[in-house]
Amino acid sequence: MGMRAVEIPQFGIEHLRVAELPAPALPAGYVRIGVRAVSLNYRDYLVVTGSYNPKLPLPFVPCSDMAGEVLEVASGVTRWKPGDAVMGCFMPAWQTGPYEEPYAKSALGGAWPGVLAEQVSLPADGLVPMPPHLSFEEAATLPCAAVTAWNALVAQGPIKAGDTILLQGTGGVSLFALQIARLHGARVIITSSSDEKLERARALGAEGLINYKSTVDWDKRAKELNGGRGVDHVVEVGGVGTFEKSLNAVRGGGRISYIGVLTGIQGPINTAWILHKHLTIQGIYVGSRAMFEDLARAFALHRVKPVVDRVHRLGEIADALHYMSSGAHFGKLVIRAGS
Amino acid sequence: MGMRAVEIPQFGIEHLRVAELPAPALPAGYVRIGVRAVSLNYRDYLVVTGSYNPKLPLPFVPCSDMAGEVLEVASGVTRWKPGDAVMGCFMPAWQTGPYEEPYAKSALGGAWPGVLAEQVSLPADGLVPMPPHLSFEEAATLPCAAVTAWNALVAQGPIKAGDTILLQGTGGVSLFALQIARLHGARVIITSSSDEKLERARALGAEGLINYKSTVDWDKRAKELNGGRGVDHVVEVGGVGTFEKSLNAVRGGGRISYIGVLTGIQGPINTAWILHKHLTIQGIYVGSRAMFEDLARAFALHRVKPVVDRVHRLGEIADALHYMSSGAHFGKLVIRAGS
Amino acid sequence: MGMRAVEIPQFGIEHLRVAELPAPALPAGYVRIGVRAVSLNYRDYLVVTGSYNPKLPLPFVPCSDMAGEVLEVASGVTRWKPGDAVMGCFMPAWQTGPYEEPYAKSALGGAWPGVLAEQVSLPADGLVPMPPHLSFEEAATLPCAAVTAWNALVAQGPIKAGDTILLQGTGGVSLFALQIARLHGARVIITSSSDEKLERARALGAEGLINYKSTVDWDKRAKELNGGRGVDHVVEVGGVGTFEKSLNAVRGGGRISYIGVLTGIQGPINTAWILHKHLTIQGIYVGSRAMFEDLARAFALHRVKPVVDRVHRLGEIADALHYMSSGAHFGKLVIRAGS
Amino acid sequence: MGMRAVEIPQFGIEHLRVAELPAPALPAGYVRIGVRAVSLNYRDYLVVTGSYNPKLPLPFVPCSDMAGEVLEVASGVTRWKPGDAVMGCFMPAWQTGPYEEPYAKSALGGAWPGVLAEQVSLPADGLVPMPPHLSFEEAATLPCAAVTAWNALVAQGPIKAGDTILLQGTGGVSLFALQIARLHGARVIITSSSDEKLERARALGAEGLINYKSTVDWDKRAKELNGGRGVDHVVEVGGVGTFEKSLNAVRGGGRISYIGVLTGIQGPINTAWILHKHLTIQGIYVGSRAMFEDLARAFALHRVKPVVDRVHRLGEIADALHYMSSGAHFGKLVIRAGS
């Protein structure tokens, strides 16, 4: 019995196609899931265009973030039964504890085939129960961006009430970081190139708003908004192009979560602040199943709703990726995968 | 020039008296403060009755928690100026970092004379600025009970959104722990012997309410209210009489903050759970100036108001202590110290 | 094809018997191991006598600690091949990260059948490679006692050079703690009822020696030996009978690893020191595979040899348990399980 | 009464001069010290040549690291008495706990005048007792380089036995890191441009030796020497010129202490590894008094001797700085300050 999936036959958004593929196998310990929704990350854009890994074996099914319904469980699986609503872990092998290298080999939609398909088969312990207050479209936004933000602020953090967190832009990680920071009683300062997006961030709880087009020195402005002091934590999603300003904006003894590559990965950086301010720079590569469960518990308790910008159908994947690369979105883009 | 102060000439509440004493000296590095309000802790009851330290040199001025106004600063003090509204640190010597033994020698109203007087003289770095949204009566409740709760949940914690915290009773530490837990997005289960107090705790954000008189097995009930699982953290203010139930109520890998002595300090304890549940028991003895400043910052940001049960005048100290020992109060008792 | 194993048909050392049992099954993901040596822990004594769990389903194969050779691997297992020398994890389900309740259900020789047999079948990720410098008899001593000591001092620790560690007696956990403390440059003070054992501990690197029979106030003596200051960390293996002295011996802000039950689990404890000294009491229930691998790496690098007191044959299990319960041993007791 | 001191009248090693200055004042809470020895750091070279802070008010007395004898204590000082042998803290204001910005203003020989003089006056709590097994020349090497290494490996670490640490070159920080790593049972891989220096490092306990002139890809070689795996911790003293290789040499989930500026502070860095390897980059700016005391305790226990390359007299400061900048030294350079 077959299923539809999106494939990369050769690199380039224009080459993406919906193909008919055989349904995935169900090895011992695995669960077959009827995918209901998939969310997009900037990484998917890099994968599709060949920037992420030019040696990726093609054709390749992209995307890492999925929510769906359990269709069938292999023998020996006791945690799940058909009908359960689940979300997939970005790296199913990272269950708990600190990061270790081999986990990366299980990353979906990169090291391992992705989830932009009507069905996927995943290890039983690589799934997390869907919080009951979320739709499939909303739940599909969590596995990469929300877990990344939780890892940065809470697991590695630790964040506490009264802290000031500086966020860059209004993409998925930043908006989840905003919601998570607010859950913990922290203050948020956020940047954007759009006053309208800043107002939407204010509605989500951001207190300090900086338009980085009209206020080029957003690092200095962030300090002003923090009473002249550096901020406690910067969630750096920009990469090398924004890192120096982040180093300036953070307080002595503060913390920068290094997450993003939007402005590239190589460039000149003045590193003197790292030592003179006794900073901690923590690279964040998504997170573990335990972190995902903690996040889901907190979101369920507070009925936090992810910000979904648009929902597309499977065949509209190219449009969705073009839209994401334009930077016009606010929050997450979702593909409705099921029929 | 003299001032009024409350003295313990011999142990016993009935012996407390308001005396005329010389104004305190002002050594280099010290600040003279016009005390405006003092809050009471159970420790003060133990001090006055002689249970805390039978060898205390008498007469002795009790109490540790004070808010007031700077009257005069010694030479070399640049952090403060007359008119500043300040709160005193419980142990002025504990500035930051982990606890060390010598700090205890600076504890006010116990190792060192207390603050139940019209004026006190304290080291300049043993003071914290008063949050602007608080009255002196409210600010005076923070130095011991609120810092203790912050240390337990946040500094030693670390607490995170979605955690479940079990609190015992509605005294000062427990209500501050409730407010601090809510600031961080945690769920609170609280016990009391009074349904009316439980309703007041619900109004402050408690979700699970247990009357430990009608529900003697409050440990089991706490688990039921937590979906059958043990809670993440118990703030143990009861002492040996409640500790075994706390050991049962907490989850494997969980945490108990050991703070209280209300039911005594010596008694039979079944310790097997400590190791089989891989628990962390953390003794909490108030906290540092850095913790106090973090707390004050968080309370100011969220305009958190301490729960003040009653405000008495200096001459009513005996009534206030009797009332506290009756357990009828909800939140903190305050003495208005100034004229 | 059958194998020999020791069984508990009914509680009591005198009832232990060597039985002929079917060889264990080999489910998917499991590894069949030819057991070469098994070490004993005090827990095994409690299991056999019925004190550990009176409801244990009998007959039951006791013991948790095993070293042996891989005989056969189930389909899908890629980590091991026949001939590999391995040690078993005490709780195969605890792979990494902090302790969680479900792990306890995998504890060998207690929640799960034990390893005192010629063959066992264990999950592939519940094994650790044997350090090349150890014999099977030596390697069999590590899974419970050495991992417990490592967890206490290093994983939960953290220990550092110059720290002073107080150890109680010369059983397995204490001697491993001595070796691990020395690896990290810490000073060790150790107690025993025997001057001869103390001299043997000195040869292993202990600097402070206290005969607790002739020096009843060993807590005070420990402080004297530490220049009048409390020690940094006490590894409490005695249980309630020694806990109060441990609370006195530790410094303010110090740490006690609560591990042992030798003197019982219930008794009067004066808990005031827990809070007034701002202590951390950490219950230790063995540890994870990750901790075991870290331990094995450190022991291999420094060629640390476990202290084996005696090696018995399978049929001598009763003698070995009687000997252990007499307290006359120094270090670990081992049963050679293979032919 | 006057004293001799070295001054920077204008930037440039050639301008350094020995001047006759008034003895320093002794404010309340201060201690006057007869300086016996001063050690040099690369920072002193930058200060003298004007690279560190071109706006430094001249004339300026350089250097931060001093050991000497207490001559006189101000009123109120009880910790010290004349004749005590002491070492100065690099930042006397950083007593304990995490780094905070204001501490930097107390850094000697940079923000604050230095110690290259016959006498200095320092706050009583900015001193640490000299370990009894060290000479003044040896003790003077500790305040900056050894505390930096301790902070990196132990305080921020935490290091444990069996870890592999990669060190760059054989300057002060690297050799102290080597000694501290060995105290904690870690393995050390070290680089140098000189085979002879590598042999001297081996004598101090280094196991892996890499000549980075003959082995340009020292990052790959470090992994080979670690069994093909990345190392656990890199102590980065090189700065931007070596950072990319450090990012390659460290394992996933590993740690880099960012300390050095030898190859400059600005340059192109490929940052993708920071996030994909989930690294922690910790800036290290010396450390607190509490760290210094912990270090001194450990060095005293194990009688660790700092590696002193040469001892110069006060008037030879220019020669010493030229020698240091040549990179020919192995370990620390010391100026004997007293008569």
Q: Looking at residue B277, what is its pLDDT?
A: 95
Q: Looking at residue A327, what is its pLDDT?
A: 87
pTM for the complete prediction?
0.96
Q: Which of A160, A180, A294, A295 to mutate to test the interface with B (most CBs of B within 10 A)?
A: A160
Of D28, D97, D290, which is closest to B290 when you measure between CB atoms? D97
Q: How far apart are CA C29 and CA C92, in angstroms?
A: 12
Of B100, B252, B260, which is closest to C101 when you measure between CB atoms? B252
Q: Looking at residue C339, what is its pLDDT?
A: 53
Alpha-carbon separation of residue A17 from A39, A108, C234 (angstroms): 17, 19, 65
Of A28, A76, A96, which is closest to C96 when you measure between CB atoms? A96
Alpha helices in chain A (DSSP H): 42-49, 136-139, 147-150, 172-183, 195-203, 218-225, 240-249, 272-276, 289-302, 317-326
The average confidence (pLDDT) of chain B is 95
Q: Do D240 and A271 touch (CB under 8 A)?
A: yes
User: What is the full per-residue pLDDT of chain C (339 aa) written as tens digits?
Assistant: 689 999 999 999 999 999 999 999 999 899 999 999 999 999 999 999 999 999 999 999 999 999 999 999 998 899 999 999 999 999 999 999 999 999 999 999 998 999 999 999 999 999 999 999 999 999 999 999 999 999 999 999 889 999 999 999 999 999 999 999 999 999 999 999 999 999 999 999 999 999 999 999 999 999 999 999 999 999 999 878 899 999 999 999 999 999 977 666 676 777 888 999 999 999 999 999 999 999 999 999 999 999 999 999 999 999 999 999 998 999 999 999 865
Instruction: Kindly report the nearest CA distance between residue A181 and chain B, in angstroms.
Output: 9
Q: Looking at residue D241, what is its pLDDT?
A: 84
Interface of A with C in 290-329 (CB under 8 A): 290
- Can you tell me the mean pLDDT for B188-194? 97
pLDDT tens-digit map of A42-55 = 999 999 999 999 99
State both tokens at A264: 């590239």
Of A162, A183, A187, which is closest to B161 when you measure between CB atoms? A183
State both tokens at C61: 């194969």
Residue pair B281/B305 in contact by the 8 Å Cβ criterion: no
Query: Does B185 reach chain A within 8 Å, measured CB to CB?
Result: yes
Q: Which of D26, D94, D96, D105 to mutate to test the interface with B (most CBs of B within 10 A)?
A: D96
Percentage of the residues of chain A whose pLDDT score is greater than 70:
97
Contacts of A252 in chain D (CB under 8 A): 99-101, 104
Q: Which helix (H) or strand (E) holds C247?
A: helix C240-249
State both tokens at C63: 């013991």
The average confidence (pLDDT) of chain A is 95
3-state secondary structure of D138: helix
Q: Looking at residue B238, what is its pLDDT?
A: 85
- Can you tell me the mean pLDDT for B289-308? 98
pLDDT band at residue A278, thresholds of 50, 70 and 90?
very high
Task: For each of the domains in chain B, give its residue range(s) and CATH number, in order of start.
Answer: 2-143+305-336 (3.90.180.10), 157-283 (3.40.50.720)
Query: Does D265 reach chain B within 8 Å, measured CB to CB?
Result: no
Residues 6+ apart with CB under 8 A from C111: C104, C105
Residue A339 has pLDDT above 60, yes or no: no
Q: Looking at residue A262, what is its pLDDT?
A: 66
B192: left (phi over 0), alpha (psi -120 to 50) or beta: beta
Q: Do C158 and D157 touch (CB under 8 A)?
A: yes
Backbone angles phi, psi at C68, to 5 degrees: -170, -165
Report the candidate in B267, B100, B276 with the shortest Cα–Cα distance to residue C271. Answer: B267
Residues 6+ apart with CB under 8 A from B55: none
Q: How far apart are CA B22 and CA B121, in angstroms?
A: 12
Q: Looking at residue A240, what is its pLDDT?
A: 80
Contacts of B283 in chain C (CB under 8 A): 273-281
Contacts of B183 in chain A (CB under 8 A): 161, 184-185
Residue B123 has pLDDT above 60, yes or no: yes
Contacts of C129 in chain D (CB under 8 A): none
ipTM greater than 0.85, yes or no?
yes
pLDDT band at residue D1, thresholds of 50, 70 and 90?
low
pLDDT tens-digit map of D98-112 = 999 999 999 999 989
pLDDT band at residue B159, thresholds of 50, 70 and 90?
very high
Q: Which of A30, A77, A91, A96 to mutate to test the interface with C (most CBs of C within 10 A)?
A: A96
Q: Looking at residue B262, what is its pLDDT?
A: 66
Count other Cβ atoms within 10 Å, centred on residue A253.
19
Contacts of B282 in chain C (CB under 8 A): 279-281
- Can you tell me the mean pLDDT for A27-36? 95
Residue B339 has pLDDT above 60, yes or no: no
pLDDT tens-digit map of A194-238 = 999 999 999 999 999 999 999 999 999 999 999 999 999 999 998
Kindly report which listed range (A324-328, B87-91, B219-223, D178-182) carries the lowest average pLDDT score: A324-328
Pairing of the two strands B250-258 and B231-236: parallel
Report the candidate in D185, D203, D201 with the shortest Cα–Cα distance to residue D193. Answer: D201
Q: Do B253 and C280 touch (CB under 8 A)?
A: no
Which chains contact C through at least 3 pairs of Cβ atoms less than 8 Å apart? A, B, D
Q: Looking at residue D111, what is its pLDDT?
A: 84
Q: Looking at residue D270, what is its pLDDT?
A: 76
Interface of C with A in 46-85 (CB under 8 A): 76
Residue A76 has pLDDT above 90, yes or no: no
Of A76, A96, A98, which is closest to C28 when you measure between CB atoms? A76
Q: Looking at residue B1, what is its pLDDT?
A: 67
Report the candidate in B310, B333, B304, B290 with the shortest Cα–Cα distance to residue B179. Answer: B304
Q: Looking at residue C239, what is its pLDDT?
A: 79
Residue pair A103/A143 in contact by the 8 Å Cβ criterion: no
Query: Does C158 reach chain B within 8 Å, measured CB to CB?
Result: no
